[in-house]
Amino acid sequence: MKQSLCNGWEFTQEWTDAFCRGGGEAQSVRLPHTSRELPLHYTDHNDYQMVCGYRRVLTVTDALRGKRLFLQFDGAGHIATVYLNGQELATHRCGYTAFRVELTDVVRSGDNLIAVRLDTRENATIPPFGFVIDYLTYGGLYREVWLDIREQEMIHDVFVTTPTLTTAQVEVTADSPCRVEILSEDGAVLASGSPGQLSVPDALPWSPETPNRYLCRVTCIASGDTMEVKFGFRTAEFRADGFYLNGEKTFLRGLNRHQCYPYVGYAAPEALQREDARILKEELGCNAVRTSHYPQSHYFIDECDRLGLLVFTEIPGWQHIGGAGWKDQACENVREMVTQYRNHPSIILWGVRINESTDDDDLYRRTNAIAHELDPSRATSGVRYLQKSSLLEDVYSYNDFSHCGDNPGALSKKAVTPDMGKGYLISEHNGHMFPTKAYDPWQKRQEHALRHARVLNAACASGEHAGCFGWCMFDYATHKDFGSGDRICYHGVMDAFRNPKLAAAVYASQQDDTPVLEVGSPMDIGDYPAGNIGDVYVFTNADEVALYKNGHFVSKLCYGDWNGLRRGSLRVDDTIGCLLETQEGFPKKKADLLRRCLLSAGKHGLAGMPLTDKLRMAWAMVRYKLTMDDGVALYGKYVGNWGGEATVWRFDAICSGKVVASVTRCPSAKLHLEVKASRTALTEGDTYDMAAVHIRILDEFGNVAPYAQLPVKLTLEGDAELVGSDTVTAEGGMCGTYVRTVGIPGHAVLTVSTAQTVPVTLRFQID
């Protein structure tokens, strides 16, 4: 039985030896906790580095006598030394895996003082430290802490694999014989027996489409001690030609995810961890995620299990390999990662190399062997930036940053891997090659989206790539050595608050559950050289898109030549369409000729038109007896429109003959706020709860107003608190905040306002 120990802690930013014996001043905190909250921009990585302390009282009641007691820390960044009543018990040297300390023989009846000396500094003796790192490594007791209460004869570990889709192999480590039961999610017992292989003939498979889960319950016969793990019936295999889930070839279409959040760094509770998995699956349409560059919260992985997201997880590290002790710790990190996460059906691949490190065959023989020994059921890999590097694992994972806009989207498999007989996937692409802010000009935001589409398309089309993980899910703070001048890596398809940029639509458009329609350009003439609309792309999952100008049908947009992606972008290459026929009454032959001339003039300018088009235009004017004034009028009406009334463009997404989404583009000064919370019903349980609040400034047609860089005022009243500043700036028309409970039930009201919009109010119920 686990008892949460997330409440009732005291914290000091300056550890002293007296602190672990109850001396010194401290502030009350709740877990998860960050060693220091930080600003959104211009974060100094030195601010969270310290030797700090945490302590709380643990009361051992009579009911706990005769039990075995374990203190479990799910995440402590980065070197944690645990004390009980002033006595040092243990030290753990990894900030990204859990650890536990047995208290059975050292606790006393009544009150005991637990204390943790936490070194959050970037210590070169342990991974991922020793050199520069392109992400912040926030400190604190940033995941949950538990008291695990067990019987004297206890179960130490349960490991479930599924050799077939109807058999479960259950391995148990225990002090005495055990009974095993396999249960459905509704609690029905489907199979029982001793550890070993159990058959469930009617088992339903686990997959992204059908994430069916089962419960394995193991009971120690002598003592009644129990352990339960959730699992799924699924097989996962990487072959030379790709990845096979349950025997069916499946392309891994995903993004990389860091575990950080604005202000609080790593310290986010269960609700936000699960929310990120939901965003990846439901909003971004991914079927996979890579947990770059370290193991992440079990809540996040459990939600991947529940929703059906395939996971590639890896040990902590970033390019650097240290000395002998450092390498020993990396091997220990592999052991902890595999044993702690191996029952999650979503995990299909272990990363046993330091991300983007050079070859070290001696080290990687060790890490690969550890993973295979502890989990023979899963493949291993390691992320590289090197081509043809030493391949000791089962899958060659390569960060393919070769695409630069006007070349192929991805390198061929044979150009990268030394072994064509093993699996191959792209572990990162884009990212630093084309960093894009939410407030960048539309041309850059559109190109950002197109680059993601081109890489995905190339990898899908090759037939040899097992998958493709874009870099990355959202923007994140980094060290001064990387990122933009404000120390932010603007590599995400979303901003730091998880508001979508245009590139998010590339991923979202690959799913069918929710209609997607995003237009790459605002279609305002002031955003184009000489007012001429250039190449515009539409991202959608519709069958087709109909384009209208001032309410008049122009044309149907087609997907074009995308040979890999199920749905690539649609190009708007004709803004005249049939208008010369329907609005001018021109016969089709005349309309076609003039449309071609006008489109060329719009693209190249009248002076820059190719000679053939100039001759064609001259012939058309002679053939149809058009004057120069006639030509100028047609050009102004259908191409330039400079000085004319603003055009209203409408894009209708059509599925099965019905309009399922519509986007209107027209200059607008009528702004309004869109404010959405991840949840408005919050729960005070084992610890605090949090809701993410997404804020966007929209025009009257519902489009994000990218130039609305407005100050946004946040006012919260009631039984909750804001995380971060009460005034933020909309970047590209988007920003956000977080609402956190404070330990009491009740209500809270958040009011969001700007000088140019009507305020919006959200109400939160706290139970």
Options 2.60.40.10, 3.40.390.30, 3.40.50.880, 2.70.98.40; which CATH number does 672-766 get? 2.60.40.10
pLDDT for residue 530: 66
pLDDT at 642: 66
Paired sense of beta strands 178-183 and 99-102, if any: unpaired
Model pLDDT, residue 646: 81
- Reported as a single tens digit per residue, the pLDDT across 599-626 is 888 888 777 889 888 888 888 888 888 8
- Of the candidates 522, 485, 484, 482, the one whose C-alpha atom is nearest the C-alpha of residue 502 is 522
Q: What is the pLDDT of residues 250-267, one digit of tens each?
A: 999 999 999 999 999 999
Alpha helices in 207-323 (DSSP H): 270-278, 298-307
CATH 3.20.20.80-classified regions of the chain: 236-497
- Give the pLDDT score at 412: 97
d(CA 260, CA 263): 9
- Convert 459-497 to b/e letters by CB count within 10 Å (16 or more is b): bbebebbbbbbbbbbbbbbbbeebbeeebbbbbbbbbbb
Kind of pairing between the strands at 99-102 and 68-73: antiparallel
What is the rounded distance in angstroms from the CA atom of residue 222 to the CA atom of residue 227?
14
Q: Per residue in 692-732, pLDDT tens?
A: 999 999 999 999 999 999 999 999 999 999 999 999 999 99
Please report, to the nearest 10 degrees, the dihedral formed by the alpha carbons of residues 481, 482, 487, 488 taken in order: -170
What would the pLDDT profile of 734-766 be if each residue is shown by its tens digit? 999 999 999 999 999 999 999 999 999 999 999
The closest of 405, 81, 420, 378 to 245, measured between CA atoms, is 378
| Residues annotated catalytic, as ranges | 356, 428
> In CATH, what class is 236-497?
alpha beta
Sole residue written with tokens 């191959």: 424
Cα pseudo-dihedral 85, 88, 94, 100, rounded to 10: -60
Classify residue 237 as exposed, middle or buried by CB count within 10 Å of its CB (0-12, 13-18, 19+).
middle
Asked if residue 455 lies in contact with residue 444, where contact means CB atoms within 8 angstroms, the answer is no
**3-class SS of residue 742:** coil
Helix pair angle (324-341, 298-307), 10° resolution: 40
Q: Whole-prediction pTM value? A: 0.95
Least confident range from 79-83, 401-405, 599-603: namely 599-603
pLDDT (mean) for 474-484:
93
For 2-150, CATH number out of 2.60.120.260, 2.30.29.30, 3.90.25.10, 3.20.20.70 equals 2.60.120.260
Q: Residue written as tokens 């061929």? A: 412
pLDDT value at residue 528: 76
Q: For the chain, give every residue range classified as CATH 2.60.120.260.
A: 2-150
- Closest among 679, 703, 672, 685 to 767, alpha carbons compared: 685
